[in-house]
Amino acid sequence: MMKIYDLIIIGAGPAGITASVYAARKQLDFLVISIDVGGQTAWSGEVENYTGYQFISGPELAQKFEEHLHKFKTPLKENEEVLALEKTDSLIRVKTSRSDYQAHSVIIASGKKSRELMVEGEKEFKNRGLTYCATCDGPLFAGKVVAVVGGGNSALDAALQLMKIAKQVYVINNTAALTGDAVMQDKIVQATNTTIFNNTLVTAVLGDKFVNRIKIKNRNQQEELAVAGVFVEIGLVPNSGFAKGVNKNSQNEIIVDARNRTNIEGVFAAGDVTDVPEKQIIIAAGEGSKALLSAFHYLSRNNFSD
Give the Cα separation of 228 and 246 in Å (integer): 42
Whether 89 is a known active-site residue: answer no
Give the Cα separation of 105 and 114 in Å (integer): 28
Whether 133 is a known active-site residue: answer yes
Options 36, 89, 100, 133, the catalytic residue:
133
Options 100, 136, 257, 306, the catalytic residue:
136
Q: Bridge partners of 85?
A: 94
Whether 137 is a known active-site residue: answer yes
Q: Are 240 and 110 in contact (CB under 8 A)?
A: yes
Residues contacting residue 217 through CB under 8 Å, at least 6 positions apart: 200, 201, 203
User: Taking the alpha carbons of 198, 130, 181, 260 in that order, is the dihedral positive or negative?
Assistant: positive
Options 29, 36, 100, 137, the catalytic residue:
137
Q: How is the chain classified by DSSP, letter by letter?
A: ---EEEEEEE--SHHHHHHHHHHHHTT--EEEEESSSSGGGGG--EE--BTTBSSEEHHHHHHHHHHHHHHTT--EEES--EEEEEEETTEEEEEESS-EEEEEEEEE---EEEPP---BTTTTTBTTTEES-HHHHGGGGTTSEEEEE--SHHHHHHHHHHTTTSSEEEEE-SSSS--S-HHHHHHHHH-TTEEEE-SEEEEEEEESSSEEEEEEEETTEEEEEE-SEEEE-S-EEES-TT-TTS-B-TT-PBP--TT-B-SSTTEEE-GGGBS-SS--HHHHHHHHHHHHHHHHHHHHHH----
Active-site residue list:
133, 136-137
